[in-house]
Amino acid sequence: MKKIIVAVLVMAVAFTAFAGGAQESQQEEIVSISLGGSTTVEPITISAIEAFEAKNTTYRISYEGQGSSVGVKGALDGTYVLGGASRDLKSAEEEAGAVATPIALDGIAVVVNGGVMVDSLSRLEIARIYTGEITNWSQVGGPDKAIIVINRDEASGTRAAFHELVIKPEFGKEQEFYKDTIVVESNGDMVTKTGATPDSIGYCGFGYIDKAISNGGKTLLIDGVEPSVSNVLSGDYAVSRRLNIISNGEVENGTFAKVFLDFLLSDEGQAIVEDEGFIALP
């Protein structure tokens, strides 16, 4: 009889331990979340992910910097829970159900190799360079040297915003970029390439200005206005845009998408925006 009682007790203890272990395992179940899109939005999102995961340890969140168009498409087809876009949505994307939530403001700085002997250009001059009408620095007050034009790839939201803010106001939306350019796939590649290429010109989000300078480049004034946060907020610096997180439809309460968006828009999230060199929402 004693043996039977002992056996039952042992089984009870084992079951309790098993149940407790199973409960603990269930509580610590890891949820994997995939985000992706704009390389401009990437540094904000990566830093926000690190801060968010520190408080929400059951999440493992990744972000793939593949360009704004990829971010929008990924949000719509379910590849990403949320996408990043450094441009406004196209009408076709909105019709497909994409919703943009602004998380920051950003200016687009024109950067050149540090050896370029020009400090300021007008928006018209920049547009003429990027459409191939101006091809030599001597045409804008510099030395007699060919301008090496560096552009972003077609998936880039920064490229689309640059066209919208620089090319379109001067020549209309149908005007295409100059074809004889070096094409790079990210803001990081842009500032690295510009710094390493004599006589070159490019453009990048404000969050990459420090990297542009550390890589041997410099920023230009546009129409005499410095690319700065205060000038974007005042409206004096015209080449600026919103940075967006894209969802498939409106985000619903209780979902990861809603919680993460709320974090980005919180005081802590907006502080991350500023820490990464971008502009918090006013």
Which sequence spans correspond to the domains of the chain? 31-104+245-275, 106-240
pLDDT above 50 for 1: no
The CA–CA distances, whole Å, from 98 to 74, 83, 156, 246, 263 equal: 10, 10, 17, 6, 20
Give me the percent of the chain exceeding a pLDDT of 90: 89
Reported as a single tens digit per residue, the pLDDT across 109-123 is: 999 999 999 999 999
- CA dist., res. 174 & res. 172, Å (int): 6
Q: Is the pLDDT of residue 201 over 60?
A: yes
Which pLDDT band holds residue 29 (cuts at 50, 70, 90)? confident
pLDDT per residue as tens digits for the range 218-258: 999 999 999 999 999 999 998 999 999 999 999 999 999 99
Average pLDDT, stretch 201-216?
Answer: 96
Mean pLDDT value across residues 21-28: 50
Among 92, 64, 88, residue whose Cα is nearest residue 76: 92
Residue 11 pLDDT level (bands cut at 50, 70, 90) = very low
Output the CATH code of domain 31-104+245-275: 3.40.190.10
39-52 pLDDT, tens per residue?
A: 999 999 999 999 99
Q: Which strand (E) or helix (H) includes residue 200?
A: strand 200-205
79-113: pLDDT as tens digits: 999 999 999 999 999 999 999 999 999 999 999 99
Which of the four pLDDT bands, split at 50, 70 and 90, describes residue 3? very low
H/E element, 71: helix 68-77
Q: Is the dihedral of CA 242, 200, 140, 176 positive or negative?
A: negative
DSSP designation for 96? T
| C-alpha separations of 43 from 122, 186, 268 in Å | 29, 12, 15
**How high is the mean pLDDT of the chain?**
91
Q: What is the pLDDT of residues 127-174, one digit of tens each?
A: 999 999 999 999 999 999 999 999 999 999 999 999 999 999 999 989
Is the pLDDT reported for residue 189 higher than 80?
Answer: yes
Region 179-198 average pLDDT = 96
Question: CA 69, 75, 79, 80: dihedral to nearest 10 degrees?
Answer: 100
> How does residue 14 score in pLDDT terms, banded at 50, 70 and 90?
very low
Residue among 208, 218, 226 nearest 39 (CA): 208
Split at pLDDT 50, 70, 90, the class of 28 is: low
Q: pLDDT value at position 15?
A: 37
The three-point CA angle 57-62-68 to 5° equals: 140
Q: State the pLDDT at residue 211.
A: 96
The structure's pTM equals: 0.79
Q: Is the pLDDT of residue 19 over 70?
A: no
CATH class of the domain whose range is 106-240: alpha beta
Shared fold status for 31-104+245-275 and 106-240: yes
